[in-house]
């Protein structure tokens, strides 16, 4: 699953490589989330790309395309006459400009609408984004406190609480915070909740930095995917299980995460 830092890195790359393009042609493979005539995009200039949580937004003079890559989606930018590097059956969206074309593969969500409609709806549905210029630490804490009976390991994947946190980040955040994912939010001290939120912001930025530099994030991972591994802090065995009810891969050091 693409997490917030990967979505933001894609937006930065698109801004760099697709800057100033004017739309000459558009191909969309699914029309389930197309709320305006596709032809309205023609002649529109690409203005900016940004991310909101795990969503990537492409803005074109009052119109917008939302892309959610989920697990297998990718975005490539080619010269306008360059051949595609992946099979055409995987294509979900092509936006062709004068010099470049933006191609989205395997994305399960491609949505096109007026920019105001898309952005206002996403902002109403999503919690604060640690990678946004408008990151609101206090709102993130407030949102967590609303789910007092929820397990913290479950709550961190709720995009209405904090946007952009995926399974890698939630495991790594809780390990660094020394918090067991099975604890309910009401069992946490306010200082523990603040620590979780602060680590969420810092780790998201570290994750993003590595993505921008096109580095593998393996060196950042202290616990995620460490099957039968040993804790980097105490040396004890790392426990792996599927946390209920979300059935997501969970790694925990029961010595260090209380």
Closest CA to 54 of 10, 7, 110: 7
Peptide bond into 245 cis (omega under 30): yes
CATH number of 4-125: 3.20.190.10
**What pLDDT is recorded for position 1?**
80
Closest CA to 196 of 173, 221, 218: 173
Mean pLDDT in residue range 53-79: 97
**What pLDDT is recorded for position 40?**
97
Mean pLDDT in residue range 72-88: 96
- pLDDT tens-digit series, residues 28-63: 998 789 999 999 999 999 999 999 999 999 999 999
**What pLDDT is recorded for position 232?**
95
Residue 133 scores a pLDDT above 90: yes
Mean pLDDT in residue range 218-225: 96
Mean pLDDT in residue range 8-13: 98
Q: Residue 221: pLDDT band by 50, 70, 90 thresholds?
A: very high
Closest CA to 130 of 143, 146, 147, 118: 143
Residue 115 scores a pLDDT above 80: yes
Q: What's this model's pTM, rounded to 2 decimal places?
A: 0.96
Mean pLDDT in residue range 208-215: 96
**What pLDDT is recorded for position 32?**
86
Percent of the chain with pLDDT over 90: 98
Q: Where do the structural domains in the chain lie, given as residue ranges?
A: 4-125, 137-252
Mean pLDDT in residue range 222-235: 96
Question: CB burial class (10 A; 0-12, 13-18, 19+) of residue 220?
Answer: middle
**What pLDDT is recorded for position 233?**
96
Question: CB burial class (10 A; 0-12, 13-18, 19+) of residue 191?
Answer: exposed
Residue 126 scores a pLDDT above 80: yes
Q: What is the mean pLDDT of the chain?
A: 97
Residue 239 scores a pLDDT above 90: yes
Mean pLDDT in residue range 230-247: 97
CATH number of 137-252: 1.10.8.50
- pLDDT tens-digit series, residues 136-195: 999 999 999 999 999 999 999 999 999 999 999 999 999 999 999 999 999 999 999 999
């Amino acid at each position: 699953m693409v997490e917030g830092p990967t979505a933001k890195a894609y937006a930065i790359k698109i801004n760099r490589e697709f800057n100033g393009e004017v739309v000459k042609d558009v191909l969309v493979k699914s029309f389930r989330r197309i709320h305006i005539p596709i032809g309205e995009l023609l002649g529109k200039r690409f203005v900016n790309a940004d991310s909101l949580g795990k969503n990537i937004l492409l803005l074109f003079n009052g119109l917008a395309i939302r892309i959610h890559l989920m697990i297998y989606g990718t975005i490539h930018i080619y010269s306008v006459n360059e051949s595609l590097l992946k099979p055409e059956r995987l294509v979900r969206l092509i936006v062709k400009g004068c010099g470049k074309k933006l191609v989205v593969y395997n994305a399960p969500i491609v949505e096109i609408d007026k920019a105001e409609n898309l952005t206002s709806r996403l902002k109403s549905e999503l919690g604060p984004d640690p990678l946004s210029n408008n990151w609101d630490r206090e709102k993130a804490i407030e949102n967590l406190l609303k789910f007092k009976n929820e397990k913290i390991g479950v709550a961190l994947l709720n995009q209405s609480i904090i946007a952009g946190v995926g399974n890698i980040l939630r495991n790594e955040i809780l390990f660094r915070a020394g918090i067991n994912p099975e604890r309910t939010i009401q069992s946490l001290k306010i200082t523990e909740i603040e620590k979780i939120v602060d680590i969420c912001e810092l780790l998201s930025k570290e994750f993003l930095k590595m993505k921008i530099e096109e580095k593998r994030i393996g060196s950042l991972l202290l616990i995620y995917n460490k099957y039968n591994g040993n804790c980097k802090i105490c040396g004890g065995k790392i426990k792996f299980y599927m946390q209920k009810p979300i059935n997501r891969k969970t790694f925990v050091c029961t010595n260090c995460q209380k």
